[in-house]
Amino acid sequence: MESWPKARPAVRKKIAIFILIGWVLLIIGDRVDELRVYQGAQMAMYTIALASIVLLTGYSGQVSLGNGAMMAVGGYGAALTLNNLGTPIWFAFLMAIVTASLFGALLGAAAARVSGPYLAGTTLALAVGLPAIANQFAFLGGEPGLLFDVGFPPERFGEEFTQYKWFFWIASFIALIALFITSNILSSRFGRTWRAIRGNSLAAELCGVHSARMKVLAFTVSSGLAGLAGAVLAMTISLVAPGAYGLALSFALVTGAVLAGISSLPGVVLGAFILVVIPEISVALADRLGDADKLNNYLPGLIVSVLLILSVIFTPNGPGENLRKHLHKKPAH
Amino acid sequence: MIRKTRIKRTWLAAAVIASGSLLATALPANAETGVSASEIKLGITLPLTGAASPGYNKIGNAINAYFKYVNDNGGVYGRKVTLIQKNDEYSPQLSIAKTNELILRDKVFALVGPLGTANFTAVHKSVGLAKRGVPSLFLNTGFSGFSNKKSYPSSFMILPSYAMEAKIIAQFLKENHAGKKLGIVYQNDEFGIDGLGAFRAAGTKFDVSIPYTSGTQSAATAQTWVSQLAAGGAQVVVFFGVTSATAPLLAVAAAAKYAPQWILGSVGSDPLTLRALGVPVAVLNGAQTPAGNPSPNDTSDEYVKQFQEINTKYNTGSAFDDYVLQGMNVGLMTVQALRAAGKNLTRKGLVRAMETKGSTFASVAYSPLGFSRTSNVGHTGYYMAVMDANGDRKPFGGTVTLYTTDSGSGPVVKSTFKRPAMPAKGLPSNS
């Protein structure tokens, strides 16, 4: 607190904005019905996951299709910590970050030599293979998965305070903190260095940037964020199971990131909103077209794929990115 | 300049979101959720597609067909009963997502017949069914853990538990297959382990024991099972898994000319589905299986006859098999439960009606129902049956010898219980 007067005006304004957003979320949470509150928690989860992609792909230029796998690592890390060590919830979330970061560092070290489509392919293999490992080891719970129970809301909030609202509060709180920290990292020299590497790796090296080390760092931090998102996802369904972190999740995240602007951190909110809205749209569509439930299982995936293809063809950096360029009238980088 | 623009935009966005959310606020609840003057909305999650779906994907339509029949004949105190089906592909986290949809979006009154042990365990915890007071009637799973009233206060089973089933099979093995080498193939989750535990408690020693992970069943994995069973010399093989795993096991064994005495657990033993999945009827001939209901082809049974008529009229295109029979029976029980809860229908009232009157409901199964204030247990017994050369099921020994037991350490006893008669025209008139 005493460092507040010393903090630069920019950071103080940022803190104020985040506190304001927190207040707004609090008020909204009280007004909407339970379905929206639950979707709010999912949105918070997606913002964290998308932030990890913005950092990794938007800033350091490394394409990863395996964010679902890193989320799985975080989710399992949190669940195993909570169930086996009986720690407080916040420690479980911390362990999610730690375990996913470690995995990310390993992945980054292995992937530092690869780039472009080869990196995408490697991470894709990870996305497919990693969750299935849960089936091989009994302590990982197999297909039915592990329980992840963050407990009931405190009793002083009253009877009307539902479990899902509690998830919304926790998820939003975590998302706000994670985004604040990420925003600071991205506007620091780390962010600038990553953008330099993305722009021209060779030129960056000539300027004294240790390209490989920074790339691994990007993977580490990004995976930590993804792991946190994975733990938040686990909280919302009280379950960690391989099916929750499948390929569809990785693709949805990539699509959300591209649509929202791959290098725009504020855009992750828009991206998260789109990801939560897509199932709603598909429910409405399926109802209109009849044979609702059969369609319902495939429509979200179809919509995501179509959106991804369209945006790759027309706006490779995402419509959000184009909008940003247009508004700021200067190149993104 | 850019900073000011950003802050302005933030305020604007916040204002938009806040006002938008005020508009989206739900209207205050009207009477009981899912019940209106003209309709009662019920929901079910089950595998309509996916590896585990063969057979089970007919249950929802069968329940619905029965409801349509009842609706055409006055409904329940004038209200139409509708069933909303959601496909969860037997995957627990999909069950959670779909149940959230049923409860939060479709706002159903109760869940009926949700399918799958791991699925319902996950749903009950994650969606918080107990805290919400959402009744879940006639679970399509026999996991004995669900009979714990304290953990599952508003859930009611219908199938005998897997522990009961295992105990009855164990007794049957002792009486009819003493001294033979035994093998077991079981699904490696709470469903299969529930049975395995009861076998152990009953003292059954399996010479070959093969777990399989749900979702991995295929011709390839079945090859490994058959190799192990044949290598171990198992003469009697018990199977405790889903139908889509029974099929490759039997087909591969037949091809390898390995022909032990099969004892197929009730979950994965429907002959019609097995034949549709490629099991030759010659292989099914002689297979033994615990059964709770009469054979779906036994038109001399009043329940089967009535259900078949309803199926022909309201569920065209669906061959009448074990699953359709089971589904219609769940429909019959549900309507009796809704009636017993009275015209002023509430979730609490439904739970109370099940506890106080549930054990007297008419059901096609032969064994008594165990519903009470302290027990969620549905049916409590099986008789052993044998499949014949047509893939039809006949009672072992010629006549139905019913055995009842509990999920704990109680004995397996022969029962002389006579089930209630089918209500006239299949339309309950209880209250």
pLDDT in tens, A241-254: 988 998 889 988 98
How is chain B split into domains, by residue range?
39-161+296-380, 163-291
Give B-chain residues touching A149 at CB under 8 angstroms: 125
For residue A191, is pLDDT > 70?
Answer: yes
Q: Is there a domain that residue A18 lies in?
A: no
Structure tokens belonging to residue B415: 């029962």
pLDDT in tens, B127-181: 999 999 999 999 999 998 999 999 999 999 999 999 999 999 999 999 999 999 9
Q: Is there a domain that residue A286 lies in?
A: yes
For residue A6, is pLDDT > 60?
Answer: no
Taking CB atoms and an 8 Å limit, are B121 and A144 in contact across chains?
A: yes
Query: Quick one: pLDDT at residue A321?
Result: 63
Mean pLDDT of B329-335: 97
For residue A259, is pLDDT > 80?
Answer: yes
Give B-chain residues touching A244 at CB under 8 angstroms: 93
| A193–chain B nearest CA distance, Å | 23
State the DSSP string of B89-106: TT-HHHHHHHHHIIIIIS
Mean pLDDT of B308-336: 94
The pairing of beta strand B136-139 with beta strand B155-157 = parallel
Q: Helix A247-260 vs helix A34-53: angle between axes, to the nearest 10 degrees? A: 80
Least confident range of A148-162, B78-92, B374-388, B404-418: A148-162
For residue A56, what is the domain's CATH number? 1.10.3470
pLDDT in tens, B244-255: 899 999 999 999
pLDDT band at B3, cuts 50/70/90?
low
Query: Quick one: pLDDT at residue B359?
Result: 94
Query: Quick one: pLDDT at residue B25?
Result: 44
List CB contacts of B300: < 8 A, sequence separation 6 or more.
none
Find the helix or strand (DSSP H, E) in which B136 lies: strand B136-139
pLDDT band at A332, cuts 50/70/90?
low
Q: Is there a domain that residue A267 lies in?
A: yes
> Alpha-carbon distance B372 to B289, whole Å?
29
Contact yes or no for B265/B246 (Cβ under 8 A): no
For residue A330, is pLDDT > 80?
Answer: no
CATH match for B39-161+296-380 among 3.90.1150.10, 3.40.50.300, 3.40.50.2300, 1.10.340.30:
3.40.50.2300
Q: Is there a domain that residue A24 lies in?
A: no
| B47–chain A nearest CA distance, Å | 11
- Does residue B203 come out as left (phi exceeding 0), alpha (psi in the -120 to 50 range) or beta? left
For residue B188, is pLDDT > 90?
Answer: no
Query: Quick one: pLDDT at residue B13?
Result: 61
Homologous superfamily of domain range B163-291: Response regulator (3.40.50.2300)
pLDDT in tens, B388-399: 988 889 999 989
Structure tokens belonging to residue B37: 């003057």
Query: Quick one: pLDDT at residue A216?
Result: 92
Report pTM.
0.86
Q: Which of A82, A135, A143 to mutate to test the interface with B (most CBs of B within 10 A)?
A: A143
Q: Which of B21, B83, B131, B221 to mutate to test the interface with A (most CBs of A within 10 A)?
A: B21
Domain count across chain A: 1
Task: Find, among B55, B56, B76, the residue nearest to B66 by Cα.
Answer: B76
Query: Quick one: pLDDT at residue B27?
Result: 38
Q: Which of A20, A26, A32 to mutate to test the interface with B (most CBs of B within 10 A)?
A: A32
For residue B20, is pLDDT > 80?
Answer: no
For residue B24, is pLDDT > 50?
Answer: no
Taking CB atoms and an 8 Å limit, are A143 and B214 in contact across chains?
A: yes
| Token pair 């020994």 in the structure block, residue | B397
- Pairwise pLDDT comparison (A52 vs B270), residue with the higher score: A52
Q: Is there a domain that residue A256 lies in?
A: yes
For residue A333, is pLDDT > 70?
Answer: no
Taking CB atoms and an 8 Å limit, are A28 and B131 in contact across chains?
A: no
Q: Is there a domain that residue A324 lies in?
A: yes
Residue A298 belongs to domain spanning: 32-328
Q: Is there a domain that residue A333 lies in?
A: no
For residue A135, is pLDDT > 80?
Answer: no
| A216–chain B nearest CA distance, Å | 32
Give A-chain residues touching B214 at CB under 8 angstroms: 142-144
